[in-house]
Structure 1
Amino acid sequence: MSVRVQPITRDEHLAFVSARPSASHTQTPAWAGVKPDWEAESLGWFDRGGRLVGAGLALLRPLPGPRLPGLPRYLAYLPEGPLLDWHEPGLDGLLEPMLAHLAKRGAFAVRMGPPVVVRRWSAEAVKAAIADPAARRLRDVRATSYDPRAGRVADTLRRMGWRQTGPGGADGFAAGQPRYVFRVPLAGRSLEDIHNGLNQQWRRNIKKAEKAGVKVVRGDLSDLPAFHELYCETAERDRFVPRPLPYFQRMWTALTAEHPDRMRLYLAHHDGEVLAAATMLTVGDHVWYSYGASTARRREVQASSAVQWRMMSDAHALGAAVYDLRGITDTLDESSHLLGLLRFKAGTGGEAVEYLGEWDHPLNRLLYRAFRFSLSRR
């Protein structure tokens, strides 16, 4: 396919996203407002007839230090994008114009995350892999299904000079968007079917929360500090670096301005105290559990389970095709503190999904090598 790539307006970009069944929230024009340290540009792919056939949000991160005349200075990043027909014959004809445009914009390299599914593992396959002492990583376990088209996309990218950034560190998480996620299919299922698909522990925890009188309510911008307090406690407990409160406030303001239901906040109350909270994102028929938070106090009332079930139920009521629990670890090592997260998500009865991962294309090899070296020193 012969196309040209050029900037488009936010309205054109949003109209393209809205016409698709689903797209990542990181590929909506509003996501630019969440990342103020990056410059942003909405890109459009136009065919010979002038029809918009693709779109993408390119985030441009400048290199630190003074700008040298004539030298490129940006890393261009399209998280979980761009939005193209990735299985279209002649994929290189869609990507080459993008590289040319971003090179003119001053990019020394382009990073993207093709939204292409490679493999899926059923909940039963994941549980069997966790129980198998010989299994070390999910990627080494026989998948329930495999899409051979993903291999053809990867072959095309390598032929064009793209480099896969790798499956992640020792815990299986990539530095950017997750390569492995856990999703619960909702399409064609009743809420009773979804509930029956949960394992016994999930169903027991939901029932405990109901009997204990946990009430889950929707919050708004003013409730984000309460969420963030629990989130920071969760970060300390689970050993990750928390995002600051202004990040979530920017996220709320930017996303809900684009669509009032793009982002939701849920809080679980018990005896006058907020014990758990979570954010939910929606684009088209795809719903994501985005960030979760909880306190260690009164864990016996299962407030977190109540939040999850409320969000899953609301996603079903919205007509969502999938409830996405986002990233999971690839490791099956019992010593990993993240294996419990995989067990928890597998209890939903959904499926683990592997994407093609993130890929880099160096446009200036010297600057790209310097960039990679700086990352390795962090």
Structure 2
Amino acid sequence: MSALLMTAAPHRAPLTPELLTAEAYRAFLTRTGAGAGFLQLPSWAEVKEGWRHQLIGWRPESGELTGVALVLLRPFPGTRKYFAYLPEGPVADWTDPDIDGWLTPLLGHLRATGAFAVRIGPSPAFRRWNAATLKANTGPGRRLADVLADEVDPLGTAVAERLRARGWRRCGGDSADGTDAQPRHVYRVPLAGRTTDDLWNGLNQEWRRNVRKARKAGVEVVVGSAADLPEFYRLLRITEERDGFRLGRSLAYYERQYAVLNAEEPGRMKLYLARHEGEILAAHTMITAGRRVWYQTGASADHRREVRPSNALQWRMMLDAHALGADVYDMRGIPSTLDPDDRAHGLLRWKLGTGGEAVETLGEWETPMDGTTNHTLYRAFQAYLARR
């Protein structure tokens, strides 16, 4: 059993959950420097249609906030009950060996709100593989789970043990391809303590060659505006058709996302465009929160791919993230396959070229609230999600 799990919990006063204003929530993030992801920002609630939401904080009876959470509430049809979802949250002290001190009051509040089940996304990482390790272990039928990790995070291991001991269930079990709403495997490029020369040298030869090729061909990378979102969306539909996936999002979704994130903080979401001979060939979105930057969604045309607009875009975005003082450039989800004949492997191979690392997060965890009725609703809701 993990030494972290066995650490004795200090005695402390009980924490009291409370509803927060967006201003108080953001003030906590600023004061503490808490590394909240963009899915836990107050503005994200405005992005999600069909969900109600609460901004919750908890503190001792006298004292400052010690944690916060954006909770999305999905009503179950025909009832006054809700599925409570905390995407990549809550923003809490996961190093605390007594997670019951803040988790139990939070669950009590959600139960009183009418939640029949709760899904969370703990922030600690679980395992990491560097690019060289994965490249060396690429082969037929291979998957990330088959490869010995370069690092296993003891905190992530301890948090998983603590949640299991309290009856939480990992969505999709321990399968790498579970039912998580957010990607369980992501790709991150460390930026802290590195120079731009370090970043350039971290790219593999193919990436450096492609960035040079784009530059020589005259590809121009610029930051666009809301007016360019329809073109981004047109290219996204082309990309979905070409690569065999469907995000299921509308142009209105991206327009709303762009508007509310930038209303919360100007420049929080940016749209980068790669132009060649006057035509936009690729468009990628980037989101910034605190000292973290995410490449969220990428789209590109089917023609003139030889001028490598996407490589040019990513290199510019990485440099801009570095200039902002970000600690990490997060390229978001990757597939778990290491089989070069698997169509999905192409995305992983492309991101490996940046020289970062593949990270397995703890994934998402669920628990039904107490009571036979809530357990029944939980099972019904799982069936409802499976049919969607």
TM-score range, shorter chain: over 0.9
What amino acid maps onto 1:14 in structure 2?
A: R
What CA deviation, in whole Å up to 9, does each residue of 1:286-308 have, x standing for no partner?
A: 00000000001100111111111
Task: Tell me how far 1:51 sits from its aligned partner.
Answer: 1.3
Map 1:5-20; keep pairs closer than 5 Å. 5-19=17-31, 20=33
For residues 28 and 158 of structure 1, what CA distance do their matches in structure 2 show? 27
Counterpart of 2:107 in structure 1 is 99
Task: Tell me how far 1:211 sits from its aligned partner.
Answer: 0.3
Counterpart of 1:139 in structure 2 is 145
Deviation larger for 294-303 or 236-245 = 236-245
Q: Which runs of 4+ in 1 moved over 3 A?
A: 167-170, 172-175
Q: Quick check: 1:166–1:357 contact (8 Å CA) kept in 2?
A: no
- For the pair 1:249 / 2:255, whether they are aligned, the reply is yes
For residues 191 and 113 of structure 1, what CA distance do their matches in structure 2 show? 32
Which of 213, 216, 223 aligns to 1:211? It is 216
Q: Quick check: 1:288–1:326 contact (8 Å CA) kept in 2?
A: yes
Deviation larger for 45-54 or 365-374 = 45-54
Q: Residue 182 and residue 173 in structure 1: after superposition, are their counterparts in 2 closer, same or farther (change >3 A)?
A: farther
What amino acid maps onto 1:279 in structure 2?
A: T
Counterpart of 2:8 in structure 1 is none
Q: Quick check: 1:76–1:110 contact (8 Å CA) kept in 2?
A: yes
Q: Residue 167 and residue 137 in structure 1: after superposition, are their counterparts in 2 closer, same or farther (change >3 A)?
A: farther
What CA deviation, in whole Å up to 9, does each residue of 1:140-165 have, x standing for no partner?
A: 31111111222221121112121110
Map 1:74-93; keep pairs closer than 5 Å. 74-93=82-101
For residues 311 and 94 of structure 2, what CA distance do their matches in structure 1 show? 37
Indicate the percent of aligned positions where both proteins have the same amino acid.
53
- For the pair 1:4 / 2:10, whether they are aligned, the reply is no
Q: Is the partner of 1:51 in helix, strand or coil?
A: coil
Counterpart of 2:330 in structure 1 is 324
Tell me the matched-pair count. 370
What CA deviation, in whole Å up to 9, does each residue of 1:331-371 have, x standing for no partner?
A: 22334211011111111100011111100010111100111
Counterpart of 1:305 in structure 2 is 311
Counterpart of 1:40 in structure 2 is 53
- For the pair 1:287 / 2:293, whether they are aligned, the reply is yes
Deviation larger for 181-190 or 142-151 = 142-151
What amino acid maps onto 1:177 in structure 2?
A: Q
Deviation larger for 362-371 or 160-169 = 160-169
Q: Is the partner of 1:374 in helix, strand or coil?
A: helix
Task: Tell me how far 1:202 sits from its aligned partner.
Answer: 0.3
Q: Quick check: 2:134–2:338 contact (8 Å CA) kept in 1?
A: no
CA RMSD, 1 decimal? 1.5
For residues 274 and 178 of structure 2, what CA distance do their matches in structure 1 show? 28
Counterpart of 1:125 in structure 2 is 133
Q: Quick check: 1:168–1:175 contact (8 Å CA) kept in 2?
A: no
Task: Tell me how far 1:174 sits from its aligned partner.
Answer: 4.4
Q: Is the partner of 1:188 in helix, strand or coil?
A: coil
Q: TM-score, normalising length from structure 1? A: 0.94
For residues 89 and 80 of structure 1, what CA distance do their matches in structure 2 show? 20
For residues 151 and 316 of structure 2, what CA distance do their matches in structure 1 show? 30
Task: Tell me how far 1:167 sits from its aligned partner.
Answer: 6.3
Q: Quick check: 1:21–1:285 contact (8 Å CA) kept in 2?
A: no
Query: Structure 2, unaligned stretches of length 5 or more?
Result: 1-11
For residues 112 and 24 of structure 1, what CA distance do their matches in structure 2 show? 13
Q: Residue 174 and residue 206 in structure 1: after superposition, are their counterparts in 2 closer, same or farther (change >3 A)?
A: farther
Q: Quick check: 1:279–1:289 contact (8 Å CA) kept in 2?
A: yes
Counterpart of 2:387 in structure 1 is 377
For residues 174 and 160 of structure 2, what CA distance do their matches in structure 1 show? 17
What CA deviation, in whole Å up to 9, does each residue of 1:198-217 have, x standing for no partner?
A: 00000000000000000011
Q: Residue 82 and residue 328 in structure 1: after superposition, are their counterparts in 2 closer, same or farther (change >3 A)?
A: same
Q: Is the partner of 2:138 in helix, strand or coil?
A: helix
Task: Tell me how far 1:177 sits from its aligned partner.
Answer: 0.8
Q: Residue 328 and residue 85 in structure 1: after superposition, are their counterparts in 2 closer, same or farther (change >3 A)?
A: same
What amino acid maps onto 1:234 in structure 2?
A: T
Deviation larger for 16-25 or 361-370 = 16-25
Q: Quick check: 2:171–2:178 contact (8 Å CA) kept in 1?
A: no
Which of 353, 358, 372 aligns to 1:352? It is 358
Q: Quick check: 1:33–1:254 contact (8 Å CA) kept in 2?
A: yes
Counterpart of 1:163 in structure 2 is 169
For residues 155 and 233 of structure 2, what CA distance do their matches in structure 1 show? 41
For residues 206 and 21 of structure 1, what CA distance do their matches in structure 2 show? 35
Q: Residue 323 and residue 361 in structure 1: after superposition, are their counterparts in 2 closer, same or farther (change >3 A)?
A: same
Q: Is the partner of 2:39 in helix, strand or coil?
A: helix
Which of 185, 192, 198 aligns to 1:193? It is 198
